[in-house]
Amino acid sequence: MTSGIGYPGAFATSVDSGGPVGLDTGYIRDCKVSWLSVTQVQIATGVCRSDDDTTDIQVSGVLTVDITATGANGRNVDTAEAANKWYAIYIIKNTATGAIAGFLINEDDLLTFTWPVGYTKKRRVGWIRNNATSNLRDGVYIGKGSSRYFQYRVNYTELIALSAGSAVVYTNVDISEWVPPTSTYVRTNNFYDPNIGASYFYLRPDGSSYATPIYFSWGTTYPSTDAFIDVETSTSQIIEYLVGNAADDLYIYIAGFYDEV
């Protein structure tokens, strides 16, 4: 037994105990994910509790995880690398040897993936999108605890969810390309070009019954309006929009998303 591991929330136990007593349920500190290249992400040092609440996992050195490889510090072996897919980013642990690695799991394999040999404990620490050209989309997680924000770092042309939208009744916008399956809160950047003065646009979650929700901005003919708005999504990562005049144009860009790890 040790006297703790130097992080708030740690109890008097070894981080490699593998037993039921250790860090608080759901605890995580650091282990921040960032994009490294079109094929790699990095996981920073830190500590977390396994998602089955049995094991403490300490990352003592930076982990580099490569989507073109399989197994520990690669992707799950069950399917080939796939474009236009989300990959869950995990820290995994071999409790027999104490080895720690990163691991990418295709969103379609989350319930059926094959573990790398010897690894039995895990904790999700983020998501990364493999885009249409099978390149990991650049971005970085911000935050040290379980509530984090992922900020994209790519050209705005890669983040366009709606181009010149002019619907005057609420219309769906599918943002699942930029928002992963477990996230239902997103930061949008909206460029609004109204045709008449004092026009307006609204954003709301899919299925909302509110005609004039709080997610709101307005503009005049000159200048146009550019507004960042955080908006809740449905569990299918869909939001709805409308504009005040059919001649108006609304552009929605996805700047990032919020994630509970």
Question: Is residue 16 pLDDT above 60, yes or no?
Answer: no
Q: Which CATH architecture fits 156-260? A: Sandwich (2.60)
Arithmetic mean of pLDDT, 31-58: 98
Question: Which range among 31-45, 199-213, 241-255 has the greatest average pLDDT?
Answer: 31-45
Arithmetic mean of pLDDT, 25-38: 97
Question: At 211, is the pLDDT very low, low, confident or very high (cuts 50, 70, 90)?
Answer: confident
Paired with 140 in beta bridges are 34, 151
Report the C-alpha gap between 47 and 23 in whole angstroms: 9
Give the contacts of 122 (CB within 8 A, at least 6 positions apart): 50, 51, 90, 91, 92, 93, 103
Question: Is residue 223 pLDDT above 80, yes or no?
Answer: no
**Top-confidence residue, 222 or 1:** 222
What's residue 220's pLDDT?
56
**Top-confidence residue, 3 or 152:** 152
* Cis peptide, bond prior to residue 223, ω within 30 of zero: yes
The full set of domain ranges for the chain reads: 28-152, 156-260
46-49, strands of its sheet edge to edge: 28-30, 46-49, 56-59
